[in-house]
Structure 1
Amino acid sequence: MTDSDPLARLAALEGVASAMAATRDGIDALLRDRGLRRTTPDLTAESLLRGAHASAVLEGSDASLDAVRADGGDHTSQAALRVSTELLGLVPVLAKTPLQAVARIHTLAAKGVVDDIDLGRPRDAVAAARLQDLGGTLSRPTTGPALVVAAVAHAEIATVAPFVSHNGIVARAVERLVLVARGVDPTSLTVPEAGHLRLRREYESNLRGYDQGGAAGVHGWLLYAAEAYAAGAEASPLS
């Protein structure tokens, strides 16, 4: 991506803008019609808990939601929970220094699992360069919709796998953070991770397409992401 507004170019791909707009309308309706009178910190906490569980399952955990709720579940779900407890505090960091937010998310996920020297640090020069590219994309103004920004951030981290561990958890956490920071879901009541889990086969195949399928793969990922975000809204504790 070398043009001045690559996210707007991606949003202009056939069907992407309309799919994202329809999903955004659904999210707005959920938050407006069901959330205004009963949005509480407890609902946000529940959404984050559900998201941590779903993200951990996608990362290989076999812990149930009840187990995660009771005692944190297994090591993978505990990693996702550590991220969830601090995630919303990183909103201003993402706005100013996005790569610092990404590094902090990895540190939270991987603390006690990998060597301290590897926490928040790219695993090699190629990964570092790709992260720098992503940081630039997230820092530049764009006319592309926020849902496209979130989807691209997720796919870049998930497919580049810039860290030595927990890349999927980091990718999904960054996605949620973008949705909060860019005003799609300011109180983090939708559960995009659960949307991906519900559509797991499509999720995994479209990530492979993004990584290996060229322009068509990127296009397919963005169309898939609109569907996943809609499913994530259905998984909200407001629903």
Structure 2
Amino acid sequence: MSTTRAAADPLAPLVDLPGVAEAVESVRTTVDRVYGHRVMRRRSNEISSEAALRGARGSAALSGADWALEEVRRRTDFGSEPEAQTMGAALRLCAEAGQLLSIWKQSPLRVLARLHMVAEATEAPEVGRPRLAGEVADEPLVDLPLPDADETAARLEGLAGLITAGSSAPALVTAAVVHGELLALRPFGSRNGLVARAAERIVLIGSGLDPKAICPAEVGHAELGAEAYTRALAGYASGTAEGMAAWIGHCARAVALGARESTAVCEALQRGAA
């Protein structure tokens, strides 16, 4: 692996890790298959809307609000109890992600701040800014050591630099790194999982891999389960080649499962069953 290549484009060498290139190609094929479905030519807006709903449900499930899809459809009050607030936050983030695509590559930290504000839907002073010294992050699913405020700020700046500089790495790899880094850092006092998965969504849409947002990775992450999710995240946090490859592979499977979900929606629409 060329050290010059790694220095110029730190994400590019990740494609050389075992199994990553194959995962990238498999995801591309799977996503293209959904886009080629005949229903997509006529009803893509419906598929996108349904994918957003299911993606929000999946993300909320990983943050402790594991509701049936029909319950999400039925509810109108998302502010009365903790689980409802989590679901409401996930729904708002899925709706907001598509509005931030033009800003992401120029100012990713601004987008992350906006995502946290949307998730919390309050004007508290700590909302939308990274943790300060002595502050903790409330993310029960993730029990990795929490980086201190200085390390978090430095790594956020580094991540922002990677995004603004651009990379030749495939969208899947970039999305996995953004997702994994934000979850490892947990830069905000709350809602970090929801924000990390929303950022992954933005990368997948904005990169052109999933421009219509019809392959919700959040669905796949939830289907693979919290235990597999946290185990793969620990691999990312380890920084080892094996751990990074395992995390990227996990994210690839999540996107593929999201694509499968939307394929099922397409088939249902074609049959007139949905």
Q: How does 1:1-239 map to 2 (within 5 A)?
A: 3-72=7-76, 74-112=84-122, 116-123=124-131, 124-200=149-225, 201-212=227-238, 214-236=240-262, 237-238=265-266
Hey, what's the Cα distance between the residues in 2 that align with 1:85 and 1:226?
23
Q: Deviations over 1:127-182 (max 9, x none)?
A: 22111111111112321111111111111111111110000000110101101100
Tell me if the contact between 2:217 and 2:254 (Cα under 8 Å) persists in the aligned partners.
yes
Structure 1 portions without partners, runs of 5+:
none
Structure 1 match to 2:137: none
Tell me if the contact between 1:24 and 1:184 (Cα under 8 Å) persists in the aligned partners.
yes
Hey, what's the Cα distance between the residues in 1 that align with 2:124 and 2:214?
33
* Greater radius of gyration (CA): 2
Tell me if the contact between 1:189 and 1:238 (Cα under 8 Å) persists in the aligned partners.
no
Give aligned-pair identity as a percent.
Answer: 40
Q: Secondary structure at the match of 2:211?
A: coil
**Number of positions where the alignment pairs a residue of Structure 1 with one of Structure 2:** 237
Hey, what's the Cα distance between the residues in 2 that align with 1:192 and 1:106?
19
Hey, what's the Cα distance between the residues in 2 that align with 1:89 and 1:197?
24
TM-score of the superposed pair, with normalisation by structure 2? 0.81
1:66 is displaced (CA, Å) by: 1.6
**Does 228-237 or 159-168 show the bigger shift?**
228-237
1:41 is displaced (CA, Å) by: 2.5
- Return closer, same or farther for 1:22/1:119 CA change in 2, 3 Å cut-off: same
Hey, what's the Cα distance between the residues in 1 that align with 2:70 and 2:151?
40
Hey, what's the Cα distance between the residues in 1 that align with 2:71 and 2:258?
21
1:76 is displaced (CA, Å) by: 0.6
Q: Secondary structure at the match of 1:120?
A: coil
C-alpha root-mean-square deviation of aligned residues, in Å? Answer: 1.8
Hey, what's the Cα distance between the residues in 1 that align with 2:22 and 2:38?
24
Equivalent residue letter for 1:238: C
Tell me if the contact between 1:93 and 1:101 (Cα under 8 Å) persists in the aligned partners.
yes
Hey, what's the Cα distance between the residues in 1 that align with 2:251 and 2:261?
15
Hey, what's the Cα distance between the residues in 2 that align with 1:7 and 1:238?
34
